[in-house]
Structure 1
């Protein structure tokens, strides 16, 4: 690894440690604000007491699922738990080369993944670009998930089971995606849309 690569690695590690440190402080502050012991928070969240203790001492990097369970028990949004303090702002930038693109089986629909890796288990979003008649067949996501398709250009059609609906530029379709579904660019013009998938972890019953 060259000097530049080592510097970048040190920078990433430093940033990860800063975020981890803030996370531990946030969990501990919220727990104490609710006058909860480690055992009580463990019981309410389903996260082991030892894991919570390690998080507060910044001795582990918890999964997003663990953070989500703690946020539910502490009655705060996951964004607040993950947020850095006002004294530690950050701006994250992904280059075009580092942004993955998914291509449909017919090769006529492309989904650029612009969502944040930290939210992938509960929130995903994509920039959708499609050739005329391009389509994307998707398997069912986890039960209770919802997808939103906001059309920017052209016209799209969504099919879920026996339900079929279309939308033009400026319109949005919202639909259950916990069953097989198809998104299609209809008409003779190319289409573009913003797709947001809200997984069960973020959808309240």
Structure 2
């Protein structure tokens, strides 16, 4: 099995400090609640160490926040996660790793679609309801998509998210293009 890139340590460190401050907890108290050593927490907040899924999960529970809030970096309006990239965290106890693509918003309604596209005509989509967001993962082929002002090209395994409340497009660049679309509607 290939070695994983280092976990997103700077993102995790900033998130731990932010969420601990928000919760009004000392290093000692958060470490106690999470069942980890204070020195481990101090190292993580300093951006060093190699946190496992279990450690981050325990910290998220102790802070009362989803796991995703500790590992997801701040996002732009259009965000692309290329195949093999993204915040990847490994387990200490199993041959398991998780790559977070996008954290779901609370109280969001989601629709999931399978898209099959062929080169030729471009699918132009009108703006959807305000604050809607689209998430796309390409399974096969290549495609160009996104808002007219910020199109991106994706290949197999690539992920992109963009505002769905602005005109956007889907264009197959290779025969047999296949993708999964998740639409979030507030």
**In which range does the TM-score fall when normalised by the shorter chain?**
0.3 to 0.5
The structure with the largest alpha-carbon Rg is 1
TM-score (norm 2): 0.41
- Of structures 1 and 2, the one with the larger relative CO (CA 8 A, separation 6+) is 2
Normalising by structure 1, we get a TM-score of: 0.37
Larger helix fraction of residues: 1
